Chain A
Amino acid sequence: MSEAVRVQEKPPQPLSTARAGQTVRVVRIDAGRGLNSRLASMGLVASAELKVVSNGHPGPFVLIVKDAKVVLGRGVAQKILVR
């Protein structure tokens, strides 16, 4: 993992800025403990790979994580930092 970090120099961006069709990797989740554990239980943990299905400006956000389709509110998508 440390190698991947070195290769990718770009600073992490909020997931909400990702475009449909993009595949990204979670760097960090800046959320409270409750939301954090809820996201973790659905497979959204650091280093998880996400595929953005649709970025529904201004509505919810659809992505695929560990073979499951998951919807996030925009507020949640802003708290997930990806690269």
Chain B
Amino acid sequence: MKSITVALAGNPNSGKTSVFNMLTGARQHVGNYPGVTVEKKEGQCTHRDWRITFVDLPGTYSLTAYSTEELIARNYIQEDRPDVVVDVVDASNLERNLYLATQIMEMDVPMVLAFNMSDLARRRGLEFDLTQLSQLLEMPIVPTVGNKGQGRTELLDAIVETAGAERKERTHRVTYGGEIEDELLRIEETLGKTDGDVVARYGRRWLAIKLLEQDEEVTSKIRDRQVLEAVGQSVTHLRDILGDEPEIVMADRRYGFISGACQETIQSSVERRHDVSDTIDAVVTNRILGLPIFLLLMYVVFFLTFKVGSYPMEWLEAFFGALADGIVRHWPEGHAEWLQSLLVDGVIGGVGGVLVFLPNILLLFMAIALLEDSGYMARAAFVMDRIMHKIGLHGKSFIPMLIGFGCSVPAIMATRILENRRSRLTTIMVIPLMSCGARLTIYALFIPAFFPQHWQGPMLWLIYLIGIVLGIVAAKLLRLTVFRGETTPFVMELPPYRMPTSKGVLVHTWQRGWLYIRKAGTVILALSIVLWFAMNFPKPPADRLSGLDTQEARQEGLRYSTVGRVGLAVEPVLQPLGFDWKIGTALIGSVAAKELFVSQLGIIYAVESPDEDSPSLREQLRANYTPLVGFCVMLFCLISAPCVATVAMTRQETNSWRWALFQFFGLTGLAYAVTLVVYQVGRIWL
């Protein structure tokens, strides 16, 4: 059996993902490209006696050095040298799609063209002479309909045939016209002299083309001064005689080559007419209706995720509860009780607490997949862009931020819909400021404890509003400092609406769900165990516990543990905020999960069965703290340190601990500063 690697390239919206799914089925591996936040998908299949590994490159319109995605796609082809590159093109939009193809052709790799959505193109009145087009482009062309699974065998045949065939020199290629070709030749000649390794690796013509286009990444690879000088002269010369940057003229010539090839091989019997997509767009991107429609759809997504999802969530909670009960009941009395507590409180409490959200995650990503596959997501970005642009974010950032009100973890995963790296990182950083469901339990305990009935609603509203305002300010600040850079000018394709296929949606949903399960089983499990130890060890000596009842013993145990000691140690730091060691200890415990804040306080105040409705805990709070401190606690919980699951997810999605820690400490610092000001100013006033 022979093994080959095949890369899948193509425009966004060319149906590349559906072709990838068609080729590999559900056997896919989702990860990240090293060092960047761009998703990397791999899948396998066997065909005849070939084992084929498919790599799904990021969807791009071009292969310049101006965007991370394009660089990744280009570097993969150049550095990893796949045996075949399959370029998936949308047959009904051929000219634009072939622009990418001309650039891959120049990299001199064996290619196959997947002529996707060919059924749609034919229905739109386009006739193709594929035999002739294949001769002109010098590569096999296979008509496919990815979402219907048509053309799979033919495409695989073409791939293995191309992989096995002997390499031939191209006879047709993009010619850039007399003046540019002369300069290309000149650069190629100087390239021959030195930089032998670079030339051998990337090919002389490709290097010359990229150098003339003043591609920064390629230019940085060249050490020979002579070459760089020659390039400089050529660029100046061409600028003079062409009256434009060489790269612009070169883009023109590529389209010239394409339209030449298309003129001979495509016949269009009808003009592009007003189609269904235009009619839908007239409504959903309407200046007045657009926003309400978007908000309505978001409400449906939110409802589906958190309301419909709450039923299976309850079953899972019941399951984990029963599991914990079962362990407690069948545990041999008096044997290794610490292990029982580790299993029940640490592992089941920690991992179970995260896994119960799985139904929400699956529903959420199903909804997102539906919005993406149907083509609506691009319209949503269009509708929201005017507002989001003002804070330096992309229109699509709104969706993950909205999900953040439910839970930060799926929200951070949902930032994958953002293509721009800076927008994505900024969005991830501010998501925890959207007050999640777990923090609601804290407010539910505190607000009735300190505020009269008629103030309770406005108070809750105020807390949420503070989070949103801080999120907007923080996003704007981050875009001006850490993630500075041109807000990428808004240029986006509105793909035609398509009916999502159940297979595509299910594959999408499952991939995200699996990622979530894996996370819960690894990082979150490890962190839960660490926090459990910190909350339970060291144990107080026996003489300290003598004469105490169960509640008091738990209180003493927590005070004696690592977390309790840290709480005591940080008391001086927290004092300016109005917090004592009890609140400090509860805050540290709440890093495991925000809702733990309530049960921790319950243990500290030795309250039986503490929860957010516990009247005795509220009385204790009222007796010990002023309303101002109560408000400050809520404020601090809203802004400070995201929970471990969020930290773990940020680490995974940004591929670096640096960003995860930046978020963790940045938000905690912000919380400290804001709470400090509020408490100190409030003390003067009240």
Taking beta carbons and an 8 Å cutoff, which residues of A are in contact with B? 29, 31, 33-43, 45-48, 53-54, 56, 58-60, 62, 64-73, 75-76
Name the residue on B nearest A42 (C-beta): B61
The residues of B that contact A33 with a CB separation of less than 8 Å are: 214, 245, 247
Taking beta carbons and an 8 Å cutoff, which residues of B are in contact with A? 60-62, 64, 66-67, 92-93, 95-96, 99-100, 214, 245, 247-248, 251-252, 255, 272, 277-278, 281, 285, 287, 378, 382, 385-386, 389, 486, 489-496
Name the residue on B nearest A37 (C-beta): B64
The residues of B that contact A66 with a CB separation of less than 8 Å are: 93, 95-96
Contact B278 A53 (CB under 8 A): yes
Contact A59 B386 (CB under 8 A): yes
* A38 and B491 contact, Cβ closer than 8 Å, known pairs A59-B386, A67-B92, A67-B93: yes
Once bound together, how far apart are the Cα atoms of A76 and B486, in whole Å? 13
Name the residue on A nearest B386 (C-beta): A59
Give, as a whole number of angstroms, the nearest-CB distance from B289 to chain A. 13
* A73 and B493 contact, Cβ closer than 8 Å, known pairs A46-B248, A60-B382: no
Contact B95 A70 (CB under 8 A): no
Contact A68 B61 (CB under 8 A): no
Contact B251 A37 (CB under 8 A): yes
Name the residue on B nearest A29 (C-beta): B248
Name the residue on B nearest A38 (C-beta): B491
Once bound together, how far apart are the Cα atoms of A54 and B281, in whole Å? 11
Once bound together, how far apart are the Cα atoms of A54 and B62, in whole Å? 26
Given contacts A43-B99, A46-B252, A53-B281, 19 further A-B contacts (CB under 8 A): A34-B66, A36-B247, A37-B62, A37-B251, A38-B66, A40-B248, A41-B64, A43-B255, A45-B251, A45-B252, A56-B287, A59-B386, A66-B95, A68-B93, A69-B496, A71-B491, A72-B489, A73-B489, A76-B490
The residues of A that contact B489 with a CB separation of less than 8 Å are: 31, 35, 38, 72-73, 75-76
Give, as a whole number of angstroms, the nearest-CB distance from B52 to chain A. 29
Once bound together, how far apart are the Cα atoms of A59 and B66, in whole Å? 25
**Which one, A40, A48, A60, A69, contacts B493 given CB within 8 A?**
A69
**Which one, A36, A37, A69, contacts B494 given CB within 8 A?**
A69
Give, as a whole number of angstroms, the nearest-CB distance from A35 to chain B. 5
Can you spell out 13 A-B residue pairs with CB atoms less than 8 angstroms apart? A35-B489, A38-B66, A41-B60, A41-B61, A42-B61, A43-B95, A43-B255, A47-B252, A53-B281, A69-B496, A71-B490, A72-B489, A73-B489
Contact A62 B490 (CB under 8 A): no
Contact B490 A67 (CB under 8 A): no
Contact B287 A45 (CB under 8 A): no
Instruction: Choose among A41, A48, A60 the residue with the greatest number of B CB atoms under 10 Å from its CB.
Output: A41
Contact B494 A42 (CB under 8 A): no
Once bound together, how far apart are the Cα atoms of A71 and B490, in whole Å? 8
Contact A62 B285 (CB under 8 A): yes
The residues of A that contact B494 with a CB separation of less than 8 Å are: 62, 69-71
Contact A60 B490 (CB under 8 A): yes
Once bound together, how far apart are the Cα atoms of A43 and B95, in whole Å? 8
**Which one, B245, B281, B385, B491, contacts A42 given CB within 8 A?**
B491
Give, as a whole number of angstroms, the nearest-CB distance from B500 to chain A. 19
The residues of B that contact A35 with a CB separation of less than 8 Å are: 489, 491
Give, as a whole number of angstroms, the nearest-CB distance from A72 to chain B. 6
The residues of A that contact B287 with a CB separation of less than 8 Å are: 56, 59
Contact A42 B382 (CB under 8 A): no
* A36 and B248 contact, Cβ closer than 8 Å, known pairs A60-B490, A67-B93, A76-B490: yes
Contact A70 B491 (CB under 8 A): yes
Once bound together, how far apart are the Cα atoms of A69 and B95, in whole Å? 14
The residues of B that contact A37 with a CB separation of less than 8 Å are: 62, 64, 66, 247, 251
Name the residue on B nearest A31 (C-beta): B489
The residues of B that contact A45 with a CB separation of less than 8 Å are: 248, 251-252, 255
Give, as a whole number of angstroms, the nearest-CB distance from A83 to chain B. 17
Once bound together, how far apart are the Cα atoms of A39 and B252, in whole Å? 12
Give, as a whole number of angstroms, the nearest-CB distance from B95 to chain A. 5
Give, as a whole number of angstroms, the nearest-CB distance from A61 to chain B. 9
Once bound together, how far apart are the Cα atoms of A56 and B366, in whole Å? 32
Contact A40 B490 (CB under 8 A): no
The residues of B that contact A59 with a CB separation of less than 8 Å are: 287, 385-386
Once bound together, how far apart are the Cα atoms of A67 and B125, in whole Å? 13
The residues of B that contact A70 with a CB separation of less than 8 Å are: 491-494
